[in-house]
Amino acid sequence: MNKGLKIFGILTSIGMLIVLLQGSIVTKTDSGDGCGETWPLCFGEFVPSSPALATLIEYSHRLVSGLVGLMVVILAIWAVKKLPHIRETKFWALMAVLFIIFQGLMGAAAVVFGHSNIVLALHFGISAISFATVLLLTTLAFEDGKRKPAPRVKMGFRRYLFFVLAYSYAVIYSGAYVKHTGSTYACEQFPHCGEVATFGFQAGVQMTHRIAAIVLVVLLFILFIQAFRYRYESKILAGSGLSAFMLILVQAAAGVAIVYFPDAYLAAALTHTLVITFVFTLLCYMAMIVTRNRAY
């Protein structure tokens, strides 16, 4: 059932993942100015002449983003036509289209109107939401005809889940802000920052993110414990809670690796980016599950 939609959803999800990683590479390699201040062309040219490495990185990101953006719109329309009987379809289709457009506009604005650390950090946050919407649309295609009754969860659990979801987005933003303010190596130790005498703005940004990230680990552990209580009603809910907690440990390990293994910075940083995106997507999926039935 819906074989074509499933395949296209997988391809679009992979495309979104590539866009996400490309954007991270653009940031990690400081290639944001690789095409100057022109958009969508590169230095006013459709095909850049004698491009530097930064130009190739930035322009390839733009081209792939444009192609994948078109795929997202097609996926959303296709899903609405094929899955109108699923309650969540229209919502996630609308969110997918809105956020992929918003993501593109923010990227263009950053190039044309100058780089703002706040806007650039938000650009990554929007990318994470875009990836989640596409993956959830694809998930709906696979669930069609195979869905089990949704678990009835307590209102307290729902509220806590949505709180953790919102908090995780704040942590994602703070992590992106660390990079865009040049604060990655403001603290050369972990978990503390080092000498108080050297503590400044960048160290403050770094420590704020670290504290927020540590709190997120604790929150996700509590979420897993609570979700595990519903293991008999929903193995998927309990499994998603466990997966989110395990992934956040990998996320934390990648963050520590950035500090102590600078030679492996790019690999650790990309892992850091990828894993937190999956954690956020899992939380979105859990939120979708628990809202399928009324809470008691």
Binding residues for heme: 209, 272
Cα separations in angstroms, 7 against 81, 130, 217? 16, 18, 34
Which amino acid type is present at position 45?
E
Is-cis flag, bond preceding 151, omega within 30? no
The structure tokens listed for 296 are 């008691």
Stretch (H or E) spanning 78:
helix 53-82
Which among 114, 108, 117, 15 is positioned nearest to 62, based on CA atoms? 108
Measured on CA atoms in the order 258, 260, 262, 268, is the torsion positive or negative?
A: negative
The structure tokens listed for 129 are 């939401």
> Is residue 128 within 8 Å of residue 277, measured between CB atoms?
yes
> What's the Rg (C-alpha) of the chain?
20
Cα separations in angstroms, 268 against 28, 203, 206, 226, 271? 11, 20, 17, 31, 5
- Feature table: binding site: 209, 272
Stretch (H or E) spanning 242:
helix 235-260
Q: Which residues are catalytic?
A: 58
